[in-house]
Chain A
Amino acid sequence: MGEILRIENLRAGYGEAVVLPDLSLTLEAGQSLALLGRNGMGKTTLVNSIIGVTRRFGGKIILDGKDITALRPDQRALAGIGWVPQERNIFKSLTVTENLTAVATDGKWNVERVFQLFPRLAERRFNLGNQLSGGEQQMLALGRALVLNPKLLLLDEPLEGLAPIIVDELLAAFRRIIRDEKLSAILVEQNAQKILGVTDRAAILERGVIVHEAASSELRKQPEVLEGYLGVGKAKRT
């Protein structure tokens, strides 16, 4: 299959601040990666740098063999990145359907398929973006990324602040998209346990540096590693 994403020595941040000093990462096609770490450690900055809305100081980003470093965010999106931003950022003055059609490209994911995946969205298709519940917004944000028919899906904290029942529904959708349909994906989460069952691999980010990388299944068996990097306290030193 080959590599879908290759990041070489990326140095990025916002304004003058460097959040990621020197980050390299590869992702095989069809694979999914859980990006873990406490907040403030640079996970979102990494995702935002892949889509191109941060300040890049150096390094390269290669998507499916094509160097996209010099491309604008909209060009990167069309080159095959589907982005689910951290705060969901549903377009509030567009209806549910318009949120999808405004960005849709031709491919196997279309509006109807998104509605099949999330019947709740179909029920609310004429509602405006700002009239949706948090869970519905998250479904729409995922659907909006899917109708771009991306090669790589970026999901930034897609479970944040959602009720457990919605979380389960979304996790089922992720499993279907990532496991069954083999769409390459990077999933950012603080809550490791929830998503390690979905992804193939996991990387832990601390202060902008990848400090641990392993297969998800392996990491699940090592709660002490997770505790060390993600929990409170100083477990990793003792």
Chain B
Amino acid sequence: MHTISTPQEATQALAKRRAWHWLEVVFWLAAAASVFLLPSQHSLLTQIAIWSLFAISLDLILGYAGIVSLGHAAYFGFGAYVAALFAINYTGEPVTGLAVAAVASGLLGLVTSLLVLRGSDLTRLMVTLGIALVMYELANQMSWLTGGADGLTGMPVDPVLGVLPISFRPLNAYGYVLAVLFVLFVVARRIVHSPFGMSLRAIKGNPLRASQIGVPNNLRLIAVYSIAAAYAGIAGALLAQTTPVVSLTYIDFQRSADVLLMLIIGGTGYLYGGIIGSALFLIAQKFIGNVTPQYWEFWIGFALVVIALFARDRGVFSIFERLRNIVGGKTKP
């Protein structure tokens, strides 16, 4: 620790926190290389990229703003259905579909955030869970629109921007999903390193002090909740575009719980946690889940208990903790 006496030093210290670390550059180069180097794993990698985006979306509200959600799949599923219906009724161009899904889910987030703001952590848990359940029931009951329990099929997927066909082309599809993930990651990274992002961390850390500094806490939380919902909607839309059917499993509790788990495994509050967590989760699921579904369920439950027990001591996950400090621009304790 050294004394800072000039504004230049302070500016440098702050700029260093925002700067890209070489590990991050290596990470994204490796991700880009995986498009060409791992052709046999493209479907798994596509899944990882989509879940990563979904987990990043949850990280924005949980890791940065401190809003615990047990129903984040509501926005994921809503985005997926909107993208599918939009493609069926208007155009099958994927990027347009993503934009529409983002706007729709973002609006849903905006409206529902008014419910989520109220009350304690516990109320938030229940309300987010309730929102997802209501969305599930709606999708289930409005089968004339959503296909209900049978799912929604027949969604056309045209070439991306009219040039890059992704239907039945795993390599192209993965490239497309990865590109979307990268762009949205960069955007999220900018947001969390901005004054707005800092105000979220401040609200999470000490809402009382934040409000006495003049931060309109609720407005900021509404904003980030809507952004996160839009992100989740895009993730849902991506899954819809890369799988043949949009079904109720897009919204169910299992999905909300899984994404929370992925994020917790990878660590909250530095954006990469969602990516690392979903990669570990899906790879483990591929191997362990092959044995029997119960086997997988047991071990995932076990992992949760262990993480919860030791998360605070940061024993098992100290590697990610250190990573977070390096690339997340966090102040070292």
Touch A–B, Cβ below 8 Å: no
